[in-house]
Structure 1
Amino acid sequence: MDLARPIDLARQLVSELYPDARAAWLGGSVARGDATPTSDLDITVLQDGPALRKSIEYGGWPVELFVHTEKSLRYFADKDQARRQPTMMRLVGESVVLLDTDGSGARLQQDFLAEVAAGPRPLTADELSLLRYTITDLLEDLASAVGDVQLAIKSVLWQEAARLLLTGSGHWSGTGKGLLRELTTYDVAHGTNHAGALLDGVRASDARLVTAVDNILASHGGRLFAGFELTADI
């Protein structure tokens, strides 16, 4: 894809719709260079207020707009940190700067890029136990499942196993295609093929998914049922 047109179009949109913006960034698949025919323009705008998200069409492109103040950017980045899914941090950090009137565009881009590079906080003991228990329970359900029920369990199981692998190893997680992208990045960095093994297992009619999941569990204490316990202060 020729990046010049979507970048120019994104700049034109910001100039037209947000003339008082302090900064703006184009992130997502277009900025990464892996856009498809159905990709949209993910544009984050920094202004004094108010914060909002909306979807529009502009210049023949679907556009996702994320309009923020510095306070709201930090709020959503903190939510990203809590769930270990760096959506906002990547939208700004891994971006093309469209507008930067006061230096905040480059500053925030670098700040969020550094947070992405630093990775998420480690799993707590309770978080690790809950993931192991959840996956163990899914494996037990899968053992007696057939037909559509089996497919539904598999579709959840590979994702939970991927989250355990990633977050248990100090890597970011995600959802949907974002989770697969994070898992593939992990594989490239570590010379593994967990993404292929998990998805091959989902498609297969034998025990390949169980094997792939147990291989991930083995690195984090194995299956967990007996002795699992969580407490809550209510």
Structure 2
Amino acid sequence: MDALDLAHQLVRELYPDARAAWLGGSVARGDASSTSDLDITVLLDGPPAPMRKSLEHAGWPVELFVHTEKSLRYFADKDQDRRQPTMMRLVGESVVLLDTDGCGARLQQEYLAEVAAGPKPLSVDELDLLRYTITNLIDDLSDASGDVRLAIASVLWQDAARLLLTGAGRWSGTGKGLLREVAAYDGAQAAALMDGVRAEDDRLIVAVDHILADYGGRLFAGFELAAKL
């Protein structure tokens, strides 16, 4: 039995009253690895409360995301706020496993359209805070070595990548998802950042300064951010 059939079987067994279900993630994209899991989102009318559940089924690790329409919208809005479209992609970029009343196809198209539209632009305060944070990390990296340098570099490339992506109206991510987003947007920049993380010289600083240049460069003197109480 293939992954699609297994996912459909699991939904039928665990959630016989489900309105819809979608198989997302790497299996749906077609780039699954030997350690990939089945990312299944299930839509219910009501209880149980929205939940995330991990299990194994027929040799596959499975991540279940159980929602109502209201909770799907709640988490999609949180995706928008953090500019990381996790929930929207799980539903939008998916294979429909179950659709009892048309909501499976409808919500898939709605969230796919939101993914395609991209995130809201950075505000002035958000941009300044990113530039300021990156500037401080560059300063810390300049005289660091060994494990300390590696720890700083691992944070710096991610903040720089988020600036590169969100500044260009692209979605961000975390971990390997962030690297995938950068590589899809600008493979040369992704390679330069990763090369800089591995290097023991100033290559990462050069790569980050190249990204900062499009947004006013480094920022320290004159930076202000009002507290939100």
TM-score (norm: length of structure 2): 0.98
Unaligned runs of 5+ in 2: none
Alignment partner, residue 203 of structure 1: 198
Aligned residues: 227
Equivalent residue runs for 1:146-165 within 5 Å: 146-165=145-164
Are residues 1:10 and 2:7 paired? yes
Are residues 1:29 and 2:26 paired? yes
Are residues 1:124 and 2:123 paired? yes
Alpha-carbon distance in structure 1 between the residues aligned to 2:10 and 2:171? 31
Alpha-carbon distance in structure 1 between the residues aligned to 2:44 and 2:215? 44
Going from structure 1 to structure 2, the CA distance change for 1:16 and 1:118 (only over 3 Å counts) comes to same
Unaligned runs of 5+ in 1: none
Alpha-carbon distance in structure 1 between the residues aligned to 2:169 and 2:228? 27
Q: CA deviation at 1:146?
A: 1.3
Alpha-carbon distance in structure 2 between the residues aligned to 1:70 and 1:175? 26
Equivalent residue runs for 1:37-52 within 5 Å: 37-48=34-45, 49-50=47-48, 51-52=50-51
Q: CA deviation at 1:57?
A: 0.4
Q: CA deviation at 1:184?
A: 1.1
Alpha-carbon distance in structure 2 between the residues aligned to 1:55 and 1:150? 36
Are residues 1:68 and 2:67 paired? yes
Q: CA deviation at 1:206?
A: 1.3
After TM superposition, the runs of 4+ consecutive aligned structure 1 residues lying more than 6 A away are: none
Q: CA deviation at 1:205?
A: 1.3
Alignment partner, residue 110 of structure 1: 109
Alpha-carbon distance in structure 2 between the residues aligned to 1:107 and 1:176? 30
Q: CA deviation at 1:233?
A: 3.9
Q: CA deviation at 1:232?
A: 2.3
Are residues 1:82 and 2:77 paired? no
How large is the RMSD of aligned CA atoms in angstroms? 0.8
Q: Deviations over 1:77-116 (max 9, x none)?
A: 0000000000000000000000000000000000000000
